[in-house]
């Protein structure tokens, strides 16, 4: 384990050259590399645009983050390459109990990988950032772009703090995390992983949180989605797939029937690359109710589901009921909850489903960016915001995500209406999106 950093001193001494925000291409979520292997194998000619979208409209990012600093960090990220040590680790490590999960040809592709160019401009107090090019390359901008924006915002907010104010801030933040861990330790069969890379307060803080989880929860902490931190801390890299796969597949369809079938085509293609514990269904890209209603019977044979935008208990109940309707024992299946989870919702969901199915939790922004109310100066720049990087077009066609929460929908309004006509809106619940 690396030495625990003096966070206040490091923040006081922040310079671009000393502390680039993204310092490795492995400083990303594991699902991006897993998906990339499938994208590279099957869809390397697709041209896909990703766009940064801030859902926290009242936060004027261009007033809080200097454009020159943002460009410098994005430009630095483009200079990164996978190191020899990282390539050896990816090739030789076992993931989810499987050795050599990445093919030699794919690893050779990674050896010279570089993040592509970006487009950035200021519009009405926000930054419009777009990444356009081969899907094999633009997909890898999602996590570093979001991490850069969030950490630059935190650094900007802390510039006014003195050395002792920073020391107290981090002492309070550490105490808050440890108090949460003390509560989670009371859940004996808890399985929890860190999902906090994209909207973290900063890389060093995420590293502190991961190391605290490792010590505080022991075997109940099963790993981190951050590949670099997994490598450096001898942890499992955790992750499967994300909404971009069904979004891209749906955008390429030619008819309503093909559109309705596209989420299951994603699963079939995914199973050509992965099996066992990597067979996790993400059902909500176009609504969980519609997904379950039209799902082929073979989907019930998959290891589990990750409901990601509906309230966790109703979503879990719906999936358990569906398993039972397929003659499957839910106790043999896995539910992974990861949408905006924090201690209260983890405790409530755990106690509700304990003994009825296998459970796992991905703890994200509320782990790695929970600084709300910790500063006596009252600065809002330390409060987490909801910001995402989503597919917006595929080979010139608009891409859409509906979600079980209409507040998370993205895409062209006319296309959203078409998708609603095809998939319906059964089970949709409007909820505020805070992170």
How far apart, in whole angstroms, are the C-alpha atoms of residue 365 and residue 57?
18
Provide the pLDDT for residue 363: 98
Q: What per-residue confidence (pLDDT) applies to 13?
A: 60
DSSP 29: B
User: For residue 361, what are its two tokens?
Assistant: 């939790």
pLDDT score at 282: 98
Label residue 2 by pLDDT band (50, 70, 90). low
Digit-coded pLDDT (tens) for 98-129: 999 999 999 999 999 999 999 999 999 999 99
Q: Which residues contact 305 (CB under 8 A, 6 or more apart)?
A: 280, 281, 282, 283, 319, 333, 334, 335, 336
Kindly state the tokens that stand for 184. 């989670």
Confidence check: pLDDT of 248 > 70: yes
> Residue 172: which residues within 8 A CB-CB, separation 6 or more?
374
Q: How confident is the model at residue 379 (pLDDT cuts 50, 70, 90)?
A: confident
Tell me the per-residue pLDDT of 270-315, one tens digit each, with 9 for 90 and over: 999 999 999 999 999 999 999 999 999 999 999 999 999 999 999 9
* pLDDT band, residue 4 (cuts 50/70/90): low
pLDDT of residue 433: 85
- Give 223-271 as a DSSP string: EESBHHHHHHTT--B-----THHHHHHHHT-SSHHHHHHHHHHHHHHHH
Mean pLDDT of 251-259: 98
Summarised one tens digit per residue, pLDDT across range 306-365 is 999 999 999 999 999 999 999 999 999 999 999 999 999 999 999 999 999 999 999 999
pLDDT value at residue 394 = 98
Q: How confident is the model at residue 435 (pLDDT cuts 50, 70, 90)?
A: confident
Residue 15 has pLDDT above 80, yes or no: no
CA proximity to 370, closest of 206, 168, 163, 185? 206
What's the pLDDT at 7? 80
d(CA 34, CA 373): 37
Confidence check: pLDDT of 251 > 60: yes
As a whole number of angstroms, the distance between CA 366 and CA 184 comes to 14
Q: In terms of pLDDT, which residue wins out, 19 or 368?
A: 368
Q: Which two tokens stand for residue 415?
A: 């296309």
Alpha carbons 341 and 365: distance in angstroms, whole number: 8
Q: Which two tokens stand for residue 324?
A: 């039972």
Long-range CB pairs of 415-419 (<8 Å, 24+ gap) are 419/250, 419/259, 419/286
Torsion of CA 242, 254, 257, 289, to 10 degrees: 30
Average the pLDDT over 378-394 and give the result. Answer: 92
Listed residue (112, 136, 132, 110) closest to 120, CA to CA = 132
The reported pTM is 0.96
pLDDT at residue 434 in the model = 81
Tokens 């487009």 correspond to 119
CA angle 244, 245, 251 (to 5 degrees): 85
Task: Tell me, rounded to whole angstroms, the distance of Cα 42 from its chain centroid.
Answer: 23
Q: Which residues have C-beta within 8 Å of that of residue 259, sequence separation ≥ 6?
A: 250, 253, 419, 422
Residue 338, C-beta contacts closer than 8 angstroms, at least 6 positions apart: 195, 306, 308, 361, 362, 363, 364
> 370, exposed or middle or buried, with CB in 10 Å at 0-12, 13-18, 19+?
buried
Q: Are 363 and 193 in contact (CB under 8 A)?
A: yes
| Residues 166-220 pLDDT 10s | 999 999 999 999 999 999 999 999 999 999 999 999 999 999 999 999 999 999 9
Say what the pLDDT of residue 425 is. Answer: 96
Helices (H), 25-162: 30-42, 61-64, 67-78, 84-92, 104-111, 135-138, 142-158
**57 compared with 228, residue with greater pLDDT:** 228
Residue 18 is predicted with a pLDDT of: 52
- 12: confidence class by pLDDT, cuts 50, 70, 90: low
């Amino acid at each position: 384990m690396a030495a625990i950093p003096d966070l206040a001193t490091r923040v006081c001494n922040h310079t671009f050259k000393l502390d680039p925000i993204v310092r490795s291409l492995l400083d990303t979520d594991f699902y991006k590399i897993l998906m990339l292997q499938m994208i590279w194998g099957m869809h390397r000619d697709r041209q896909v645009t990703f766009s940064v979208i801030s859902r926290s409209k009242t936060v004027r990012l261009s007033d809080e983050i200097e454009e020159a600093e943002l460009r410098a960090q994005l430009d630095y990220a483009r200079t990164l390459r996978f190191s020899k040590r990282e390539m050896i680790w990816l090739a030789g490590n076992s993931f989810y109990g499987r050795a050599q999960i990445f093919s030699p040809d794919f690893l050779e592709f990674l050896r010279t990988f570089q993040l592509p160019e970006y487009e950035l401009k200021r519009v009405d107090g926000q930054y419009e950032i777009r990444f356009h090019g081969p899907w094999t390359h633009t997909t890898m901008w999602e996590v570093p772009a979001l991490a850069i924006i969030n950490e630059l915002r935190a650094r900007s907010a802390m510039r006014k703090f003195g050395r002792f104010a920073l020391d107290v801030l981090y002492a309070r933040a550490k105490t808050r995390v440890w108090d949460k861990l003390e509560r989670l330790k009371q859940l004996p069969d808890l399985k929890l992983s860190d999902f906090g890379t994209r909207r973290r307060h900063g890389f060093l803080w995420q590293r502190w949180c991961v190391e605290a989880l490792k010590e505080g929860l022991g075997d109940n902490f099963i790993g981190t989605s951050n590949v670099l931190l997994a490598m450096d801390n001898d942890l499992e890299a955790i992750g499967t797939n994300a909404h971009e796969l069904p979004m891209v597949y749906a955008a390429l369809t030619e008819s309503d029937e093909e559109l309705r079938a596209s989420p299951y085509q994603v699963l079939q293609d995914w199973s050509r690359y992965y099996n066992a514990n990597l067979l996790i269904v993400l059902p909500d890209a176009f609504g969980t109710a519609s997904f379950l209603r039209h799902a082929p019977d073979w989907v019930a044979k998959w290891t589990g589901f990750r409901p990601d935008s509906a309230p966790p208990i109703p979503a879990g109940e719906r999936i358990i009921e569906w398993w039972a309707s397929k003659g499957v024992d839910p106790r043999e299946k896995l539910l992974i909850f990861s949408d905006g989870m924090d201690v209260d919702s983890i405790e409530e969901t755990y106690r509700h489903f304990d003994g009825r199915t296998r459970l796992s939790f991905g703890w994200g922004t509320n782990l790695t960016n929970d600084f709300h109310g910790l500063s006596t100066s009252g600065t809002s720049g330390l409060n987490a915001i909801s910001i995402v990087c989503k597919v917006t077009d595929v080979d010139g066609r608009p891409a859409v995500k509906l979600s079980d929460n209409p507040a998370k929908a993205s895409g062209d309004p006319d296309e959203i209406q078409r998708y609603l006509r095809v998939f319906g809106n059964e089970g949709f619940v409007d909820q505020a999106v805070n992170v």
